[in-house]
Amino acid sequence: MSIRVAVLSPISWRTPPRHYGPWEAVVNLLSEGLVQRGLDVTLFATGDSQTNGKLVAVCPHPYSEDPSVNPKVAECLHISEVFERSAEFDLIHNHFDFLPLTYSRLIDTPVMTTIHGFSSPSIIPVYKKYNAHGHYVAISEADKSPELDYVATIHHGIDIAQFPFSDAGGEYLLFFGRIHPEKGAHEAIQVAQRAGKKLVIAGIVQDREYFETQVEPHLDGDRVKYLGAIGPAQRPDVLGRALALLHLISFDEPFGLSMVEAMACGTPVIAFGRGSIPEVIVDGETGYIVENIEHAVQAVTAVQSLDRSACRVDVEQRFSQTRMVNDYVHVYRDILGMETSHEQ
């Protein structure tokens, strides 16, 4: 009999997301991989979500896409649904941050939570309260809190087939991510200008004032171009034709899915060494970890001599969907006290 797992996805975006939605993207890849492994998967997500498992939805549309949806009301209804049906499952896998933990002592079904980063230190007390009762998975060693216990660290994986390798050598520098001060779009512009390279910017505008004052004045449609949010169909081409991805963050990155997606296409990454960066980039092989803008400019020259195929190989070995799914199944079995290595 296969493991019956309820996967609780966020409802800010569809699962899988149409454009932006890194948590939902990971939930989709994991859920589909679990189905392929033969697990009995029920995905709790928005009504327009797509899955080969069973879909349960009380929120028809994502609240970040449909302004008629009240986020707090939708979240309450969404989270309560999985816990009220907890007896139907062997395990609940929570990807919805800390709020579902407040239900976890009210049921007998074990709850495993993947912590997709801490939005603020102020949320840690909730995790601490349920530390002894829950099962926490970190997405990087760097993102672990010393105040919590973890059953595993599981790096995200991607569907490598969706990111074809390009050995073309790259035409431009790329900023790919949400446009927010902490993600470094303005720093990417500085590096591209000083290195004499074109810059392509892609991603949702999360901070409108920052975009209008620090990014938009530099957009000329040629040397600095903004594509907007790009979906799965455009992403491989935009990533694959880049000389390098610039990830010049000013916060401790919990993981950084865009870096892995770029490297899968053969595009190396130039990044500030915050958070998980040293776990994702092999310095001098799949990109460069730099300390400041000047070092980043120097790395633009150096990165042109890197073997793009090494980026692809590293992702195949360390960041595949299959590896991620296998890691999670192993933890499921540990939590449930199952000793065998194959589903019945």
Asked if residue 16 has a cis previous peptide bond (ω within 30° of 0), the answer is: yes
pLDDT at 339: 55
Q: Is 195 strand, coil or helix?
A: helix
* pLDDT per residue as tens, the chain (344 positions): 689 999 999 999 999 998 888 999 999 999 999 999 999 999 999 999 999 999 999 999 999 999 999 999 999 999 999 999 999 999 999 999 999 999 999 999 999 999 999 999 999 999 999 999 999 999 999 999 999 999 999 999 999 999 999 998 788 999 999 999 999 999 999 999 999 999 999 999 999 999 999 999 999 999 999 999 998 889 999 999 999 999 999 999 999 999 999 999 999 999 999 999 999 999 999 999 999 999 999 999 999 999 999 999 999 999 999 999 999 999 999 999 985 444 43
Tokens found for residue 22? 């890194």
For tokens 């993102």, name the residue: 143
User: What is the per-residue pLDDT for 342?
Assistant: 42
CB burial of 260-295 (b: ≥16 within 10 Å; e: otherwise) equals bbbbbbbbbbbbbbbbbbebbbbeeebbbbbeebee
Q: Which residue type is seen at 61?
A: H
Asked if 41 and 27 touch (Cβ cutoff 8 Å), the reply is: no
Q: State how far the Cα of 185 lies from the Cα of 343, in Å rounded to an integer.
A: 46
**C-beta of residue 176 within 8 angstroms of C-beta of residue 258:** yes
Supply 211's token pair: 């975009």
E strand intervals along the chain: 4-8, 40-44, 54-56, 91-94, 111-115, 135-138, 152-153, 172-176, 199-202, 224-228, 242-247, 269-272, 287-290
pTM score, two decimals? 0.93
Give the chain's domains with CATH numbers: 4-157+320-336 (3.40.50.2000), 161-318 (3.40.50.2000)
- What pLDDT does residue 139 have? 98
